[in-house]
Structure 1
Amino acid sequence: MTVLGTRALNRAALARQLLLDRADLPVAAAVAHLCGMQAQEPQAPFAGLFARLRDFDPAELSDLLVRRRLVRAHLMRRTVHLLTAEDALAWRSRHDAMLRQRGLSAYRRDFAGIDLDELAAAGRAVLADGEPRTMAELAAELTDRWPGPSRRALGEVLVAALVPTVQLPPRGLWRSSGGVRVVPLADWLGHEADPQAPPGSDPVGRELVRRHLAAHGPAATADVRAWCGLAGLPGAVAELREELVSFRDERGRELLDLPDAPRPDPDAPAPVRFLPAFDNAVLGYQDRSRIVADEHRGLSVAGERLVLVDGRVAGTWRADPAALRVEPLRRFTRAERAEVADEARRLARFLSDGEREDVRIC
């Protein structure tokens, strides 16, 4: 079986993530290809798409949210993702058990002895009037009936785990700071979410595996699980095996892939890219060594914004009122420093509508 080295996997991941060369894609098509984008920081998808698309217009993303073509919802790993309406509807029910389990993990004592199905039904009934509510408002309407959990726990578990909801604009619009208000997913999109498949069949699981490989492959089954948070995908993988090709990484893990997916030359040049916090280019794997060194792995879950140099995490960045600042994790060559500065200026202009391009590389 062919062994793919770390650099080969890196270039494949960059190509699938639209980071090897900016793509000429509409925003909705890019979000669909990426299987959604992590969006717990509401402005993160704008920086993420700026890194991936040519001539990206942030107004297009905002418009798609307003027109309900894209939505913000809890899904993969119980984190907020920006998704196409079609994917949100098709995938939500497949994630129900995981969302419930993870949603309760931090509040298990609060909900001991509570019938969660009854609580979910009550939450849906409150939201059935179509009036958007904050988590606190939703919890306030139910706290007399369930006084045990804190209002924070009640609201968070209802919205993030028990009741399929979407976060409404202006949350997630370009340069908006709107708070979280939710309505039921099906009501907002005018369709019911797809039901769970009957036992012994997992069409959504197979679709998730295919889509993950298209956006992240070659990948191990552990990588697929790390990306979506779902444990029950081995059956879906087994059903797909005849469609897939196999490799091994340098650790000996089996990697699966779509036969015709891009696997660029390991020596293909990789341009500097600036990623937002929690980007799935990093979080979409259990083994993240293809893109970040083990000693820096913690940065990927600490909310740091990452700088890729030669395809790997080599620094962090932040934008403040004075400048866009870059903190290298290693010494840059003169050529690398110049390329980092050029891309930083482009990002600074994008974030400021061309009003600022001051850059500091510390």
Structure 2
Amino acid sequence: MNAFEIDSAIPAGNIVVDRIEGDDVHLHQDLRDTQGFWFYWCFRVRGAQGRRLTFHFTNGSPVGVRGAAVSLDAGVTWKWQGADAATDKSFVFVFGPEDRDVRFSMGMPYTQANWGRFLVSVGPHPLLRPMTLCRSRKGRVVEMAYLGKPSGKVAVRAAVACRHHCCEMMANDVLEGLIEATLFDPACHWMRENAGLMVFPFVDKDGVEDGDQGKNRTPRDHGRDYNDPQIHPETAAIRALLPMWGGGLLRAAIDLHCPYIRGEWNEHIYQVGAESPAAWSEQRRFGAMLAACRRGPLPYDPAKDLASGQAWNTGANYQGGIGFRRWAGGITGIRLATGFEIPYANAAGVEVNAETARAFGRDLAEALGQHLKESVDPT
């Protein structure tokens, strides 16, 4: 049988191979600086044409409800292999005669290359300005983008952030859909004419490209780094930028996350409720708007949003530091500060993938536009 190679020397790569015994590969996710267990992995197999390999994970149960995501084109596109070829600890793949380079992951990785391809697909647009937030600790460019009139003269502003936890990649496809709708959808005409939107696709840029877990990073991950002082350059830059850029007109701030890989509170889309009754009431109002706008395939039921004090959304979960939603809720003029959990693979029985997540992003954009329109102060 032909020899094959397994490696993680790819964007977002993460794996440690324990041993190979014939057609059985024993391996585990690289936790690196993560405190405790987490589930992210992504690797490449080359030279396994014609083989049937079984991949056995030796640390926990890191395979999701639709099995492994598979890419046959060097990570450009991904498809779920399917639960019938997997357990929560393993999956099987039969390599075809042309499958010289196959990538596998627990989700559908989204890196700087994806963002670049997306911007090319949008093309030059007078209302889209790619920008740089800062440099990461390792010297990478940390992207952001402004959507709105070049003059900046708008009635209201909003901000959307992704990848405070770098492994939570499905959020980026939602962001793509939101941007597309903001720029092109007739339902978002008012927002194009009257609002400015700042988006942050990769808050933990180094983690995204290096393939870190991101969640529970020691000593503090990006999603808990809005205390003073910040330890990550990206969160420090956002804290410096948003209140100044908002100029009293920032009305909404949305943080897009992904939850765990299976089980209750991990297989439906929901908002994470704020501690403040007034803030929670505004989230509920926005949830009703979003439910009314929903045209895409991914279900969203505002009755299933997670109130503060319920399930994992308690004070104990935030002892590590202040997150973006809570911090943004204190910016002058803000009306809506919320976070959404976007499942990796399964939303109330419907497959989550790049296409369906983008469709949800388009729904989210329409609801955001309605909310912003209602948030304009009377003159």
State the TM-score, normalizing by the size of structure 1.
0.25
Q: Which structure has greater helix proportion?
A: 1
State the TM-score, normalizing by the size of structure 2.
0.24
Q: Of the two structures, which has the highest relative contact order with CA contacts closer than 8 Å and spacing of 6 or more? A: 1
Q: Which structure has greater strand proportion?
A: 2
